[in-house]
């Protein structure tokens, strides 16, 4: 008995910090990584400028590009960045196409996926609601409304659309929080306020469509409100990357707080947590992540709802593992869906038309989610 | 009542005087609520109206009373879980409002009546959460955290369940695990809201055994809401009987539990025998008189 005790203690001690890092999580991360790499290579190879597999491979892994500090400074900091910024160096035509047009799109997809998955995971814990997504507290409807307002009414501000969309989402979230606040909030009041605000803003947004005078504006609006990665480049990477790093970093640090929140408000409070402050802070992190993704890709639906469920199904509900899993599985879904969005029409009809990625995440993620739901009776439970 | 408490405390000091001088921090804290007014938002009348409760240091005080008499509300008021409209709660003489949330959670532990946890959480992981108030934002588990967790698991008798998932446990096992979590908090004051309700007999007794152990150690001041008057008679040092938000009577079980009290407070006709104390309810009294 005494020996047994020592052994249990020893095991707990050796892994106290990373005991959640188990085989299922590592498997999930590796699987997601394979999907991302395969998706990335497909995106690099196919398109209107066609190449063979080996041409694409060498265009991607061109040592002159990959090992050149100047290219990375040009990609990640841009030409206008003080001191460290740089112009893109010379490179061959294939590398230029791959690295300047096709790869940034994969990278933006990666960031969007990570942000949305983490954001959804946080909102599911904060609202203790399995149906929560990054957009449950009014974020998408606020962003959508301001997108439409900008495009239809204040078209002069269209250059600031990414920023305006993100700000719209954050403002709607604050409005929802203020409405739900009565000496503190509760998950139910938050979700209800979110749904109501969402409905009102959605109506306004739909009404604005009637004032759009040409089809181009409507198409732009639809691309923004369903989420699209068409024609993104390194500028979008530069825009989203710092916020993504910040938001996901804070989310990882907040994982233990989320675990305690899952025990219910009363327990969390009796354990000495300042529940309101933690809830607001973590919601803020989730909104930041969602806003970063909205700014570069518009409102990509579904990712933030299903990825946390899929990951939870594999690794369990420990948020330390769940967050890490989301950081891999989210990008995998968006990158895979974007392959379909960009190349699907080409494969099916031979035309060069592209779909908004948000449509494909639903088409790809929905059936997979239903499959999981049928196979695992427990999906959707914490 | 106060005099009584003092003698008990003094007696304990005498028998363990060496220990007491060596480790004064082992002394169970005093814990009392003075003139508490507790209600819920949206209701006009407070549930508890200007009542005071003193928890005997190192002993078990049971709150008893019929449904809706305000036992749980009083406990939540003591635990600082609902906003008090008036009155103060004093921990070792200090107003709990002056103590930070996290610091308070290191001194006062509360087990709520209903608890939820993710099914896939393991028992040990849940008990680990009891260390929350002792850990900083970035801290991992320290040696003292780990030994507190081991001790709590041991004390609650759930060693054999350590690696099981919460979803696989029975209601009684879950309750013991939750008790282990509160014990891991290592608080001097322990507040338990109906810890035995809804459990089968075996698990009820297991829960009460844990209370017995803590009482024998004499380092924890315990306030427990009990539904079962018989259990209160057997396991509590003091009983506070509540009727409709007011304290009807309080004192040692032998003094408080009378046939009159059972008729007035619980509205049952019962026979009370002394040595050993035994309450045998016979029939419910008419509700019509009210």
Residue A8 forms contact with B (CB below 8 Å): yes
Of A159-168, A343-352, B241-250, B263-272, minimum mean pLDDT range: A343-352
- Rounded Cα gap, residues A89 and B95, in angstroms: 68
Does B132 map to a domain? no
Cβ A273–B141 below 8 Å, yes or no? no
Does A65 map to a domain? no
Does residue A7 surpass a pLDDT of 70?
no
pLDDT at res. A271: 95
Cβ count within 10 A of residue A353: 10
Give B196: exposed, middle or buried? Use CB within 10 Å, 0-12, 13-18, 19+: buried
Structural domains counted in chain A: 1
The encoded tokens of residue A23 equal: 């085989």
Condensed to tens digits (0 to 9), the pLDDT of residues B138-170 reads 788 899 999 999 999 999 999 999 999 999 999
Nearest-CA residue of chain B relative to A14?
A: B141
- Rounded Cα gap, residues B255 and A182, in angstroms: 45
Residues B99 and B41 reside in one and the same domain: yes
- Helices B171-184, B201-217: crossing angle, 10 deg rounding: 20
Mean pLDDT of all residues in A245-274: 93
Residues B94 and B20 reside in one and the same domain: yes
> Which of chain A's residues have a Cβ under 8 Å away from the Cβ of B140?
16-17
pLDDT at res. A103: 92
Cβ B81–A270 below 8 Å, yes or no? yes
Residue A108 forms contact with B (CB below 8 Å): no
Residues B71 and B86 reside in one and the same domain: yes
Of A28-32, A128-132, B124-128, B254-258, minimum mean pLDDT range: A128-132
Structural domains counted in chain B: 2
Q: Outline where chain B has alpha helix (H).
A: 2-15, 17-22, 71-78, 101-107, 123-128, 143-155, 171-184, 201-217, 229-235, 253-256, 259-264
Does residue B105 surpass a pLDDT of 50?
yes
Residue of B85, B99, B118, B158 to mutate, interface with A, max A Cβ within 10 Å: B118
Cβ count within 10 A of residue B89: 22
Residue A21 forms contact with B (CB below 8 Å): no
Cβ B132–A267 below 8 Å, yes or no? no
> Distances in Å between the alpha carbon of A240 and those of A14, A115, A244, A267, A295?
37, 10, 6, 36, 8
CA distance A192 to chain B (A): 19
- What is the span of the domain harbouring residue B285? 259-290
Residue of A13, A21, A272 to mutate, interface with B, max B Cβ within 10 Å: A272
Does B53 map to a domain? yes
Which residue, B282, B102, B237, B186, is CA-closest to A277? Answer: B102
CA distance A272 to chain B (A): 4
Condensed to tens digits (0 to 9), the pLDDT of residues A184-233 reads 888 889 989 999 999 999 999 889 888 888 888 888 888 888 888 988 88
Cβ count within 10 A of residue B47: 21
Residue B102 forms contact with A (CB below 8 Å): yes
Do residues A45 and A74 touch, judged by C-beta distance below 8 A? no
The encoded tokens of residue A344 equal: 């699907």
- Rounded Cα gap, residues B120 and A255, in angstroms: 16
Condensed to tens digits (0 to 9), the pLDDT of residues B32-42 reads 999 888 887 77
- Rounded Cα gap, residues B39 and A99, in angstroms: 65
Residues B24 and B88 reside in one and the same domain: yes
DSSP per-residue letters across B240-290 = EEEETTEEEEEE-HHHH--HHHHHHTS-EEEEEETTTTEEEEEEEPPSTT-
Cβ A270–B124 below 8 Å, yes or no? no
SS3 A378: coil
Residues B197 and B270 reside in one and the same domain: no
Do residues A165 and A143 touch, judged by C-beta distance below 8 A? yes
Residue B149 forms contact with A (CB below 8 Å): yes
Closest to B150 (Cβ–Cβ): which among A5, A260, A270? A5
pLDDT at res. A333: 94
CA distance A126 to chain B (A): 14
Cβ A12–B124 below 8 Å, yes or no? yes
Does B145 map to a domain? no
- Residue located via tokens 């449904």: B67
Does B106 map to a domain? yes
Reply yes or no: is the peptide bond before residue B276 cis, omega within 30 of 0.
yes
Residue B156 forms contact with A (CB below 8 Å): no
Residues B171 and B269 reside in one and the same domain: no
Residues B37 and B119 reside in one and the same domain: yes
The whole-chain average pLDDT of chain B stands at 85
Does B156 map to a domain? no
Mean pLDDT of all residues in A51-78: 86
Condensed to tens digits (0 to 9), the pLDDT of residues A89-121 reads 888 888 888 998 899 999 999 999 999 999 999
Residue B88 forms contact with A (CB below 8 Å): no
Condensed to tens digits (0 to 9), the pLDDT of residues A130-161 reads 778 888 888 888 998 998 898 888 888 878 88
Nearest-CA residue of chain A relative to B143?
A: A13
Residues B233 and B191 reside in one and the same domain: yes
Does B97 map to a domain? yes
Residue A269 forms contact with B (CB below 8 Å): yes
The encoded tokens of residue B167 equal: 């979803």
Which residue, A310, A336, A332, A331, is CA-closest to A322? Answer: A310
Residues B252 and B290 reside in one and the same domain: no
The whole-chain average pLDDT of chain A stands at 86
Residues B41 and B119 reside in one and the same domain: yes
Mean pLDDT of all residues in A44-61: 85
Pairing status of strand B221-225 against strand B189-193:
parallel
Q: Contacts from B264-267 at CB under 8 Å and sequence distance 24+?
A: B265/B65, B265/B66, B265/B69, B265/B241, B266/B65, B266/B66, B266/B229, B267/B66
Residue B122's beta-bridge partner residues?
B165
Model confidence band, residue A287 (pLDDT cutoffs 50, 70, 90) = very high
Residue A277 forms contact with B (CB below 8 Å): no
Q: What does residue B69 show for φ and ψ, rounded to 5 degrees?
A: -85, -5
- Continuous segment of H or E residues that includes residue A241: helix A234-253
The encoded tokens of residue B81 equal: 């879980």
- What is the span of the domain harbouring residue A288? 104-375
Residues B198 and B287 reside in one and the same domain: no
- Rounded Cα gap, residues B273 and B65, in angstroms: 20
SS3 A19: coil
* CATH code of residue A348: 1.10.3470.10
Model confidence band, residue A4 (pLDDT cutoffs 50, 70, 90) = very low
Does A339 map to a domain? yes
Q: How large a percentage of chain A has pLDDT more than 90?
A: 39
Mean pLDDT of all residues in B121-142: 90
Does B201 map to a domain? yes
Cβ B41–A183 below 8 Å, yes or no? yes
Residue A203 forms contact with B (CB below 8 Å): no
> Which of chain B's residues have a Cβ under 8 Å away from the Cβ of A318?
120-121, 125
Residue B249 forms contact with A (CB below 8 Å): no
Condensed to tens digits (0 to 9), the pLDDT of residues B167-184 reads 999 999 999 999 999 999
Does A183 map to a domain? yes
Reading across the β-sheet that carries B238-243, which strands appear in turn? Answer: B108-111, B189-193, B221-225, B60-64, B238-243, B246-251
Pairing status of strand B31-38 against strand B48-55:
antiparallel
Residue of B75, B82, B91, B121 to mutate, interface with A, max A Cβ within 10 Å: B121
Residue of A266, A281, A318 to mutate, interface with B, max B Cβ within 10 Å: A266
Residues B24 and B108 reside in one and the same domain: yes
Does A17 map to a domain? no
Residue A316 forms contact with B (CB below 8 Å): yes
Cβ A317–B119 below 8 Å, yes or no? yes
Closest to B112 (Cβ–Cβ): which among A17, A266, A316? A266
DSSP per-residue letters across A181-236 = -SSS--HHHHHHHHHHHHHHHHHHHHHHHTT--SHHHHHHHHHHHH---TT--HHH
Model confidence band, residue B7 (pLDDT cutoffs 50, 70, 90) = very low
Does B153 map to a domain? no
* CATH code of residue B213: 3.40.50.300
Q: Which residue has the higher pLDDT, A126 or A15?
A: A126
Q: What does residue A162 show for φ and ψ, rounded to 5 degrees?
A: -55, -45
> Which of chain B's residues have a Cβ under 8 Å away from the Cβ of A260?
129, 132
């Amino acid at each position: 008995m005494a020996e047994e005790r020592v052994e249990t203690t020893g095991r707990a001690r050796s892994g106290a910090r990373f005991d959640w890092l188990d085989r299922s999580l590592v498997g999930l991360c590796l699987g997601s990584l394979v999907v991302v790499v395969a998706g990335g290579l497909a995106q690099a190879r196919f398109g209107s400028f066609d190449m063979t597999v080996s041409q694409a491979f060498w265009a991607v892994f061109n040592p002159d590009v990959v090992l050149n500090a100047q290219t990375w400074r040009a990609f990640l900091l841009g030409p206008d960045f003080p001191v460290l910024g740089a112009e893109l160096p010379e490179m061959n035509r294939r590398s230029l196409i791959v690295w300047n047009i096709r790869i940034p799109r994969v990278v933006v997809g990666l960031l969007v996926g990570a942000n949305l998955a983490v954001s959804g995971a946080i909102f599911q814990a904060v609202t203790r609601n399995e149906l929560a997504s990054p957009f449950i507290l009014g974020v998408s409807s606020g962003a959508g409304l301001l997108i439409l307002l900008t495009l239809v009414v204040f078209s002069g501000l269209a250059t600031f659309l990414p920023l305006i969309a993100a700000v719209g989402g954050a403002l709607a979230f604050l409005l929802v929080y203020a409405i739900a606040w009565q000496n503190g909030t509760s998950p139910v009041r938050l979700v209800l306020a979110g749904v109501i605000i969402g409905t009102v803003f959605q109506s306004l947004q739909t009404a604005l469509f009637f004032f759009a005078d040409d089809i181009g504006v409507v198409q732009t609006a639809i691309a923004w409100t369903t989420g699209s990665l068409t024609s993104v480049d390194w500028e979008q990477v530069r825009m989203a990357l710092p916020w993504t790093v910040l938001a996901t970093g804070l989310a990882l640090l907040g994982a233990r707080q989320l675990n305690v929140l899952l025990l219910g408000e009363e327990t969390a409070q009796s354990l000495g947590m300042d529940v309101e402050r933690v809830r607001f802070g973590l919601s803020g992190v989730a909104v930041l992540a969602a806003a970063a993704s909205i700014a570069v890709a518009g409102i990509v639906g579904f990712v933030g709802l299903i990825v946390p469920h899929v990951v939870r199904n594999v690794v369990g509900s420990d948020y330390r593992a769940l967050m890490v899993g989301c950081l891999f599985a989210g990008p995998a879904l968006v990158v895979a869906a974007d392959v379909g969005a960009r190349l699907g029409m080409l494969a099916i009809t031979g035309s060069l038309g592209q779909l908004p990625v948000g449509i494909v995440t639903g088409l790809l993620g929905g059936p997979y989610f239903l499959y999981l739901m049928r196979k695992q009776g427990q999906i959707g439970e914490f | 009542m106060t005099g009584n408490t003092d003698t008990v405390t003094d007696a304990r000091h005498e028998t363990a005087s060496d220990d007491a001088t060596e480790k004064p921090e082992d002394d169970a804290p005093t814990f009392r609520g003075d003139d508490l007014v507790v209600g819920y938002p949206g209701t006009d009348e407070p549930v508890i109206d200007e009542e005071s409760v003193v928890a005997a240091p190192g002993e078990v005080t049971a709150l008893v009373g019929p449904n809706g008499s305000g036992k749980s509300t009083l406990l939540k008021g003591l635990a600082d879980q609902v906003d008090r409209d008036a009155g103060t709660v004093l921990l070792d003489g200090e107003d709990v409002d002056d103590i930070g949330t996290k610091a308070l959670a290191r001194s006062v532990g509360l087990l709520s009546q209903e608890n939820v946890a993710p099914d896939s959480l393991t028992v040990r992981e849940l008990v680990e959460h009891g260390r929350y108030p002792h850990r900083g934002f970035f801290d991992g588990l320290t040696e003292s955290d780990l030994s507190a967790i081991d001790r709590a698991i041991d004390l609650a008798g759930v060693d054999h369940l350590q690696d099981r998932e919460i979803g696989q446990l029975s209601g009684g096992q879950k309750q013991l695990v939750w008790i282990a979590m509160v014990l891991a908090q290592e608080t001097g004051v322990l507040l338990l809201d109906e810890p035995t309700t809804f459990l089968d007999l075996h698990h009820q007794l297991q829960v009460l055994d844990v209370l017995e152990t803590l009482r024998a150690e004499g380092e924890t001041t315990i306030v427990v809401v009990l539904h079962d008057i018989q259990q209160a008679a057997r396991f509590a040092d003091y009983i506070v009987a509540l009727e409709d938000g007011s304290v009807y009577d309080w004192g040692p079980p032998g003094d408080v539990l009378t046939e009159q009290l059972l008729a007035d407070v619980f509205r049952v006709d019962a026979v009370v025998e002394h040595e050993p104390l035994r309450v045998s309810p016979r029939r419910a009294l008419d509700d019509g008189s009210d």
